[in-house]
Chains A and B, each alone.
Chain A
Amino acid sequence: DAGVTQSPTHLIKTRGQQVTLRCSPKSGHDTVSWYQQALGQGPQFIFQYYEEEERQRGNFPDRFSGHQFPNYSSELNVNALLLGDSALYLCASSLGGSETQYFGPGTRLLVL
């Protein structure tokens, strides 16, 4: 049973650059949520994708955008990177409207 996968595992960028993070949900799941986790904090909800549309968005600026593909995989794009965007980016998958979410290993982004 394939779990949630994310790529890349680590990424270093400089301020102003753009980044794309990728996620494949757990086998059988159709919903992908993205979270940002700063050091020492709980995850913060960025947005959720279901049926290739953004279903809900958290309190993040428009620099953060996403996409879901027909195979349910998803991308998170961040434009005009800021130092404060350095964090662990987590992808979580679930089935339909289920509240139970399973996390991938995360992508650690460092912005210099």
Chain B
Amino acid sequence: QKEVEQNSGPLSVPEGAIASLNCTYSDRVSQSFFWYRQYSGKSPELIMSIYSNGDKEDGRFTAQLNKASQYVSLLIRDSQPSDSATYLCAFPGDSNYQLIWGAGTKLIIKP
């Protein structure tokens, strides 16, 4: 059964620093990976998708994928208090119709 592992945190990072979030997965076949941000009491919001090994940058966010080591990470540069949320990683299941999710890492940015 496919699984996704994330450190539940909380991860505390000072404002302005780089926050690094990691996710490991069990399936060697998966081709795409997603990072979602979820504020308390709200629904997940897609912030990054990555399909190829290496880095993908979008503003202050960088997703890194290493298929050989089966991990994907999310870096947030110049962290802001508004980045405080739970970050969930996900990848498609066997049929690509469903997403398999980690439990999320709670990130706290301290002013």
Contact = CB atoms under 8 A, between A and B. Distances in A.
User: Which bracket fits the contact residues of B?
Assistant: 20 to 34
A90 B100 CA distance: 14
Interface stretch (A14-22, A74-82, A94-102): A94-102
Nearest to A102: B46
A97 B96 CA distance: 8
Contact of B32 (A33, A40, A99): A99
Given A56-B97, A56-B98, A58-B98, A100 B103 contact: no
Interface stretch (B11-19, B54-62, B67-75, B85-93): B85-93
Interface in A52-90: 55-56, 58, 88, 90
Interface of B: 4, 8, 32, 34, 36, 42-46, 49, 88, 90, 92-93, 95-104
Interface of A: 33, 40-45, 48, 55-56, 58, 88, 90, 97, 99-106
